[in-house]
Chain A
């Protein structure tokens, strides 16, 4: 037990804290740049500067020992893009970095917009709908599953599977998380069964993963693991981003009015949503060698939580951090991580959000809550499971 850093008894995975973590984050940030969670025997970085520094130093703060809390959860993800270090990490990242580059993604722009327009039209036609299940949860699943080349049949397994994977791989040992292990296993089996040329569409990202395997560009790792990594990283996270933004729009009429008046603020609004409601609230790094950070000297093997969600609301970095400011455009936020492991799919996520918001602004006159938003319990993902909204169609807006 370290004597030099504040020890906290808080459990950041407690469902009540997960539901509303921000007061706890405030306390943690105020207690110091490095804190120790006695319940789990890990360190945590709740401030912006230290999270950014740790992410900037992947040689001392490694990912290859797993980025989740427990050994059991980390075991199945070690050796994936997310939980590896260079050179393996660079090898795996190269497989799809071309497809995910803005240059390549630009070609998808029109298709994404058409998909978003159709989904929004369907939802707007309902008048009152669930902005998660009827909209936010549908769009990234269809986009990413199309890109990966998965058949329509079986796609309903993707979101529940990703939720189970996130819960079991990154969270603590708890009964309400243990129940997800069978779903996580079923998901892994579904991906393994889908990871072949008969199932995956030719020319798809899935086929590109199989090409990489055939050409020995996966460093001997199973192609299903890379396929799974893309699907898991690319869905639930984006669903949460979209849902969080829609909640802000439904709850804050002024933000909606400002966006309606000036749609060029969409990108800034997306960036601000990522900051204030970071879809991934925190991962871990493990210390290698001798390193000091935030005035604390870490020992080899220390586990350190990088608290993206807390860092992004650090008043040392952002004025009035709890306030959603449509014009803030905080491009240096850490919701996608930073540096070596910076989210490889971030441009796609932002394109999806832009397409959806563009459709909404064109087709909807006003949006308001039609019920109480319901937060989901997931130990690392922040997002909603239900968001009832009522919309008024824009005059001549619905296609």
Chain B
């Protein structure tokens, strides 16, 4: 699984970062940076939690 960001939707609320700061981070310009590529099985659940709290549903986990 990997994290997919809908860039048109993301408005930089940063709630994903609050839940899983090692997988999601807003950079100094407020743009969301996410863990690139395959997620290790151990972090998938946290990646999903981060995606779940996105208030505008801009994040999802997709199969690689």
Q: Which residues of A contact B (CB under 8 A)?
A: 56, 90, 97, 100-104, 331-332, 336, 338-340, 342-344, 346-347
Contact = CB atoms under 8 A, between A and B. Distances in A.
Interface of B: 8-9, 11-15, 18-19, 26, 29-30, 52-53, 55-57
B56 A342 contact: yes
A101 B19 CA distance: 19
Contacts of B15: 331
A101 B30 contact: yes
Contacts of B18: 331
A339 B26 contact: no
Contacts of B19: 331
9 contacts: A101-B30, A103-B12, A103-B26, A336-B55, A338-B56, A338-B57, A342-B56, A343-B55, A346-B55
A101 B13 CA distance: 7
A331 B53 contact: yes
Contact of B13 (A90, A332, A339, A346): A346
B57 A56 contact: yes
Interface centre among A97, A104, A331, A338 (most CB of B within 10 A): A331
A97 B55 CA distance: 14
Closest 7 CB pairs of A and B: A103-B30, A339-B57, A331-B53, A342-B55, A342-B56, A101-B12, A332-B53
A102 B30 contact: yes
Contacts of B56: 338-340, 342
A205 B41 CA distance: 45
Nearest to A329: B18
A338 B8 CA distance: 16
A373 to B, nearest CB: 29
A101 B58 CA distance: 15
A361 to B, nearest CB: 21
Contacts of A347: 13
Nearest to A339: B57
A102 B55 contact: no
Nearest to B10: A101
Contacts of A100: 11
A225 to B, nearest CB: 21
Nearest to B28: A103
Contacts of B53: 331-332
B7 to A, nearest CB: 13
B48 to A, nearest CB: 11
A248 B9 CA distance: 34
Contacts of B14: 102
Nearest to B18: A331
A100 B30 CA distance: 12
Contact of A340 (B26, B29, B57): B57
Contacts of B12: 101-103
A344 B9 CA distance: 11
Given A103-B30, A339-B57, A346-B55, 15 more contacts: A56-B57, A97-B11, A101-B11, A102-B12, A103-B26, A103-B29, A332-B53, A336-B55, A338-B55, A340-B56, A340-B57, A342-B55, A342-B57, A343-B55, A344-B11
A278 B39 CA distance: 35
Nearest to A101: B12
Nearest to B14: A102
B26 to A, nearest CB: 7
Contacts of A346: 13, 55
